[in-house]
Chain A
């Protein structure tokens, strides 16, 4: 689930609680590894390897048998497991609950953070003006 990648541990944990702490087991224990990140030559040309990032992956199965996955930047197994549980809940038809308990508040928080960042950046915009020489 795309939104989990930007959600904090606290947000994922709060959603897990709000969903009634769904029963689950590890399909694959959370694992920390690397993903090689890529850029493009000149910004839009051929890809090249920029450098790696740490990534934690997890896969869980709910009591209902539904499976969820998570791949997140960083080294936080507990956060990855929570994200996988939320993914499994979504797969099990819990879209409305996920929307209410997780997606909606997280989207609002992200929009607020982005808007504040953009507003602060916008305040540093340069307004050029031209000095006219008095020759006429």
Chain B
């Protein structure tokens, strides 16, 4: 017999009121505004935009406030919001070579054209807690150099490509639309465009662990950071009613080009291969992890043995989304009373049968003695 259970409405309403009250914290402390989060917790905002798969700094900041700083909850809110909006279309593919650079480094070339600039980075800090921040110490004006002329910064891998030492990036396949996992459910095997879309919105922690696993030997690719760049790019869109490209504005992205294990065949001489990462906002860790995992997932393409989790696209792509993951893990706390009653009935029956068998065996043994 199935018995529907109702109730808890007042409890839920009161719990949500208590949540609102807890969110505010101590009233003696000033309330924060979303714009403070946008400006001063910018990397949290970047993460929510990247994994929420929606570029909107103000919306991400508000979601972080609503979620009390729980970034996966904030990502969930952003994903839910995007489902309420119509889609006007898709942008023109962004030109990252034309990026207005804020940071650019290479681990393969010391003297690359355009140079290496560190930009605003945690690298080389000593990771000591800065108590001056708690005291609200004034911030010094940053140093300036040069006349403010934009640097010409071609992609580092173009240097290798010039000598034919690295594989060419794949051209756009003719006649096939760009895959979109927000429109069609993911099917396997998945093409690289779908894999990159999945990785660009994947959980940073999951990608980090997957990328790390390849470095530790579970699908090794012998990676070098060809280049990491962070800065602003212009995005363009061709509206149906206009028929020509219009600039929508500028967004910040982080890009990582990983130069990896060479491949060659009887026909082609050995060349370096590539892994690619591109992420909304400033997130080097995520862009690097994405590039490592992108390369690991190309195992089939290069005829490598698929022996490690990071090379298994079904494993990686099916578990990378933290909204899906948290939904399935957290659904376990919803009422499972009927399921559990069935389990209780089953285990009681199994124990009864076990006891009966034990008693029968004891009886047989006694009779034999």
Q: Does A53 touch B at the CB level, under 8 Å?
A: yes
A residues 29-62 with Cβ under 8 Å of B?
A: 31-55, 57, 59
Q: Given that A6-B250, A36-B87, A41-B276 are contacting pairs, would A48 and B96 also be in contact in the complex, using a CB cutoff of 8 Å?
A: no
The number of residue pairs between A and B whose CB atoms lie closer than 8 Å in the complex comes to: 233
- A136, B53: Cα distance in complex, Å: 59
Give the distance to chain B from A11, nearest Cβ to Cβ, in Å. 13
- B89 touches which one: A36, A59, A122 (CB < 8 A)? A36
A residues 97-136 with Cβ under 8 Å of B?
A: 114-126, 128
Q: Does B149 touch A at the CB level, under 8 Å?
A: yes
Q: Does B264 touch A at the CB level, under 8 Å?
A: no
Q: Does B218 touch A at the CB level, under 8 Å?
A: no
Could you tell me how many residues of chain A have their Cβ less than 8 Å away from some Cβ of chain B? Answer: 50
CB contacts (< 8 Å) of A123 on chain B: these are 142-145
Could you tell me how many residues of chain B have their Cβ less than 8 Å away from some Cβ of chain A? Answer: 81
Residue in A5, A39, A123, A128 whose Cβ sees the most chain B Cβ within 10 Å: A39
Mark each residue of chain B from 70 to 104: 1 if its CB lies under 8 Å from any CB of chain A, else 0: 00000000000010011111111110110011110
Q: Is the CB of A69 within 8 A of B241?
A: yes
- A39, B291: Cα distance in complex, Å: 14
Q: Does B151 touch A at the CB level, under 8 Å?
A: yes
B residues 139-172 with Cβ under 8 Å of A?
A: 142-151, 155, 157, 168-172
Give the distance to chain B from A53, nearest Cβ to Cβ, in Å. 4
Give the distance to chain A from B97, nearest Cβ to Cβ, in Å. 7
Pairs A-B, 5 closest by C-beta atoms:
A115-B148, A45-B169, A42-B169, A73-B249, A119-B144
**Sampled A-B contacts (26; CB under 8 Å):** A34-B54, A36-B87, A36-B182, A38-B90, A39-B93, A40-B93, A41-B196, A42-B274, A42-B276, A43-B257, A44-B97, A45-B168, A47-B178, A48-B178, A48-B179, A50-B197, A51-B53, A51-B200, A51-B201, A53-B54, A54-B85, A69-B241, A74-B56, A116-B144, A125-B115, A128-B110
